[in-house]
Amino acid sequence: MSPSVTTNGHTNGANGHADGHHSESLRKDANVTSKVASPKEEQLVLNTVRCLAADLCQQYKGGHPGTVMGAAAIGLALWRYEMRYNPANPDWFNRDRFVLSAGHACLLQYLYLHFSGYEAWTMDQIKQYHAPIMSGSMAAGHPEIEYPGCEVTTGPLGQGISNAVGMAMASKNLAAIYNKDDLKVVDNKIWCFTGDGCLQEGVGQESISFAGHLGLDNLILIYDNNSVTVDGNIDACFSEDTSAKLKAQGWHVIEVDDGSNNLAGILEGFDQAKALKGKPVLVNIKTVIGHSSKKENTGAVHGAALGDEDVRHVKEALGFNPEDKFVIPPKVYDYFQECKPKGAAAEAEWNKTMEQYAQKYPEEHKQLQMRLAGKFAEDNWRELLPEKNALPTAPQPTRKSSGIAVQALVPKYNSFISGSADLMESTFVNFKGQVDFQNPESGLGDYTGRQIRWGIREHAMIGTANGYAAYQKGMFIPIASTFFMFWLYAAPAVRMSALQGLRFIGIATHDSIGIGEDGPTHQPIALGAFYRALPNINLIRPADAEEVMGAWQIALDDQNANTPSLFTLSRQAVPLLEGTDRHKMTKGAYVVYGQDIEPELTIVSTGAEVSRAIETAKLLSSTKKVRVVSMPSQKHFDAQSLEYRQSVLPTSTSLVVAVEAWGSYGWARYAHASLSMHTFGYSAPQEQMYEKFGFKADNMASKIDAWVQKWKGQDRLPTVGEFDELLLGYAQH
């Protein structure tokens, strides 16, 4: 039976003082701090936070005051009593991690970071919350990863739940690998604050299901259950019993009533949550959004300033002078004065443990220190990737070539975790000696495992991979895989990876019409355009096994430590091409055929179509002065000098045509014409698909010859706006 805490927490008078229930007995039992606060002191802190929320949002007439006011007691319980952290060293490795999945409530986090002693979080910084100017403030409208005390960037609801699950997995894995019976160097908790919106989002539900399956008892999910979103009461759209649902998904559940006032109940619930074993824990806390506002319990208080009249009302109700702004009584700072020495003592104790660990277990300590520094290898890992003359000479899919790199690297380095959303063998991310990351009680694996079976949860796959990557920058390199089409499901989390500078390696197989019989539902004709447009990601479409090795080198290069990479790989076999070069491809595009020719025509292509482009070049009758360029990465090509780019794609002296079995969007930047897809595909064997849509070499040669003759007759090259779509096959499905 899951535990339950239900307390009344009645209030007394306009100042909202707690009646009878406070933290005294709980704090003695929990052995958290030697000084016990009175209910009056606790209430003063809560009232101060609520008035600050009202003032800070009203200052620039924007922001989210409601959750801050309603959940003030939750924040107080976390930062004053329950979480283990050191304000003087926000990056202390064995700290508890706090993830604000309900990112709109960031003002709550900012205020408690300030009160608990994070030096960077001054009130001057916090006063820039929702400021209308680019002031260099840390107090963004949603938390940002690069600032002290903010573990990840959240915004799109539900992402934080997924990140927290990934962090809990990371912590479990490290503990299983490095902890010893006598010395525990990793034993932290992951706290995640969530609201009604995160629990409605699919990514949140995917991640909750996965965490329950894995039995992540180091994860505590705090549900600020105020039953209100932007549109109003959730009764209009949501009628689930969340506690019952999570119990059914393998979670412990603790319930706390009157969480806007009942600090004692919250503390008791959190103490129980930390002690429970075997399952993750939901602490379902019922709160009043916008507590003390005239608009409490309504959608109006969720995402808008209260208005001058209501701000005045709040202050009067809570015993503050309505004429004063940003008031923080000295007793509030006194209340938090033990946070810094408590955090310093916790880190000092851990440092002693690490000293003992280094003496007793020097090899493990050395590896852990290397990973703490963000390094995954001491040796030259590139030497493990076979040179071109050692790669298979027979045609093979680039997805299988990527598996060569996985087998060469992943078993050797503990930093890699590798897995798939239900397509492990199809994407070739499984590796020799694999152990599945599983709840040890399942009999399917254990927490030392670095092979992840995410199930059919593409969105959560990357959300949790982000949690791994953010746990300690560089400590983990997640490898995640599915068909390229299903990276559309994962795209919101990938965008967060790129925004935060979190490195993962994405394996996106079945990357075009070559998927064949599965039909147009599985053929990602347009998705490449999104990923090419996304800042700070390496989208790489390699032409053969040699370029696949180059893609891995790009992804793992030190300069890409803060950049995710996504390889789009073929299902169908492609030949090992004579002109490909893993070193040259780092420039994004290079000549693979006709290197010594001053071209009249340049064909630029990517991935599985490069070999077809070379075949086509050999069949042309309109000109023999033709070169073929492989462009595995538009991003890397764009970063080269103008001189280099013009030497590869001489658009001012040569006709340039692109060949790619995706949509043509974006190719006008590099070419005068394209042979591309203009429909969603079809269901047929892959060779029939390429023939149906005109990508056979003889048909492409015919189309290109006619186009070249047209422009030869005009005695000039095309200009901007004259981009030609050389329709290959059927214009409609």
The string of DSSP letters for 591-614 reads EEE-TT---SEEEEE-TTHHHHHH
Closest CA to 727 of 672, 679, 666, 655: 679
Report whether 415 contacts 371 (CB < 8 A): yes
Closest CA to 659 of 543, 577, 580: 543
User: Region 705-728: what's the mean pLDDT?
Assistant: 92
In the chain, what is the straight-line distance between the N-terminal and C-terminal CA atoms, in Å?
56
Report whether 269 contacts 285 (CB < 8 A): yes
Tell me what pLDDT residue 647 has. 97
Can you tell me the distance from the alpha carbon of 71 to that of 12, in angstroms, rounded to the nearest whole number?
19
User: Region 295-319: what's the mean pLDDT?
Assistant: 96
Can you tell me the distance from the alpha carbon of 490 to that of 500, in angstroms, rounded to the nearest whole number?
16
Can you tell me the distance from the alpha carbon of 21 to that of 265, in angstroms, rounded to the nearest whole number?
8
Can you tell me the distance from the alpha carbon of 25 to that of 515, in angstroms, rounded to the nearest whole number?
64
Catalytic residue among 42, 151, 458, 546: 458
Residue/partner pairs of 438-445 with CB below 8 Å, 24 or more apart:
438/214, 439/213, 439/214, 439/215, 441/215, 441/278, 442/215
Report whether 315 contacts 48 (CB < 8 A): no
Q: 137 falls in which pLDDT band (50, 70, 90)?
A: confident
Residue 126 exposure: Cα atoms within 13 Å on the Cβ side? 23
Among 130-139, 673-682, 724-733, where is mean pLDDT lowest? 724-733
Indicate if 458 belongs to the active site. Answer: yes
pTM: 0.95
State which H helix or E strand residue 576 sits in. Answer: none
Sign of CA dihedral 333, 336, 342, 346: negative
pLDDT(196) > 60:
yes
Report whether 77 contacts 287 (CB < 8 A): no
Closest CA to 403 of 381, 372, 424: 424
State phi, psi for 420 to the nearest 5 degrees.
Answer: -155, 160
Exposure b/e, 241-251, CB count within 10 A at least 16 = b: ebbebbbebbb
Tell me what pLDDT residue 366 has. 97
Closest CA to 54 of 358, 294, 258: 294
Q: What does the angle CA 479 – CA 482 – CA 484 come to, to the nearest 5 degrees?
A: 115
Report whether 163 contacts 152 (CB < 8 A): yes
Tell me what pLDDT residue 26 has. 41
Closest CA to 667 of 645, 693, 634: 634
State phi, psi for 704 to the nearest 5 degrees.
Answer: -70, -40
Tell me what pLDDT residue 28 has. 40
Q: Which two tokens stand for residue 582?
A: 């893993």
| Strand runs labelled E in 395-501 | 396-397, 416-420, 451-453, 477-483
pLDDT(9) > 90:
no
Tell me what pLDDT residue 715 has. 84
Q: 517 falls in which pLDDT band (50, 70, 90)?
A: confident
State the amino acid at position 472 in one-letter form: Q
pLDDT(687) > 50:
yes
Residue 612: strand pairing partners: none
Q: Which two tokens stand for residue 22?
A: 């406070």
The fraction of the chain above a pLDDT of 70, given in percent, is 94
β-pairing, 416-420 vs 451-453, is: parallel
Report whether 632 contacts 565 (CB < 8 A): no
Tell me what pLDDT residue 88 has. 98
State the amino acid at position 712 in one-letter form: K
Closest CA to 483 of 441, 513, 443, 447: 513
Report whether 144 contacts 138 (CB < 8 A): yes
Angle at which helices 339-360 and 362-372 pack, to 10 degrees? 130
Can you tell me the distance from the alpha carbon of 399 to that of 567, in angstroms, rounded to the nearest whole number?
9
CA distances from 652 to 281, 596, 704 (A): 64, 18, 18
Closest CA to 302 of 57, 598, 11: 57
State which H helix or E strand residue 589 sits in. Answer: none
CB contact set of 455 (below 8 Å; sequence gap of 6+): 210, 213, 421, 422
Cα dihedral value 578, 658, 539, 376, nearest 10: 20
Q: What does the angle CA 218 – CA 184 – CA 365 come to, to the nearest 5 degrees?
A: 120
Mean pLDDT of the chain: 93
CB contact set of 341 (below 8 Å; sequence gap of 6+): none
Q: What's the count of helices (H) and strands (E) in the chain, helices before strands?
A: 26, 23
pLDDT(566) > 50:
yes
Tell me what pLDDT residue 36 has. 58
Among 126-140, 194-208, 582-596, where is mean pLDDT lowest? 126-140
Closest CA to 570 of 505, 632, 490, 489: 632
In Å, how far from its chain's centre is CA 213? Answer: 21
Radius of gyration, CA atoms only, the chain: 29
Q: Which two tokens stand for residue 163?
A: 């990140």
User: Region 709-724: what's the mean pLDDT?
Assistant: 93
Can you tell me the distance from the alpha carbon of 369 to that of 376, in angstroms, rounded to the nearest whole number?
10
**CB-neighbour burial class of residue 232 (10 A; exposed 0-12, middle 13-18, buried 19+):** middle
Can you tell me the distance from the alpha carbon of 678 to that of 513, in angstroms, rounded to the nearest whole number?
12
User: Region 309-321: what's the mean pLDDT?
Assistant: 98
State the amino acid at position 297 in one-letter form: N
pLDDT(135) > 90:
no
Report whether 544 contacts 582 (CB < 8 A): no
Q: What does the angle CA 141 – CA 142 – CA 146 come to, to the nearest 5 degrees?
A: 115
CB contact set of 136 (below 8 Å; sequence gap of 6+): none
Q: 729 falls in which pLDDT band (50, 70, 90)?
A: low
CA distances from 553 to 9, 119, 453, 502, 716 (A): 59, 40, 25, 17, 41
Among 24-33, 63-72, 418-427, 582-591, where is mean pLDDT lowest? 24-33
pLDDT(251) > 50:
yes
> Tokens 């994405």 appear where?
506
Among 67-71, 129-133, 393-397, 598-602, where is mean pLDDT lowest? 129-133
Which of the 8 DSSP states describes residue 80?
A: I
Can you tell me the distance from the alpha carbon of 288 to that of 71, in angstroms, rounded to the nearest whole number?
8
State phi, psi for 477 to the nearest 5 degrees.
Answer: -125, 95
State the amino acid at position 288 in one-letter form: V
Can you tell me the distance from the alpha carbon of 460 to that of 219, in angstroms, rounded to the nearest whole number?
16
Report whether 617 contacts 594 (CB < 8 A): yes
CA distances from 566 to 462, 482, 667 (A): 12, 11, 20
> Tokens 């050797």 appear where?
412
The pLDDT tens digits of the residues spanning 601-647 come to 999 999 999 999 999 999 999 999 999 999 999 999 999 999 999 99
Tell me what pLDDT residue 727 has. 75
- Let me know how long the chain is: 733
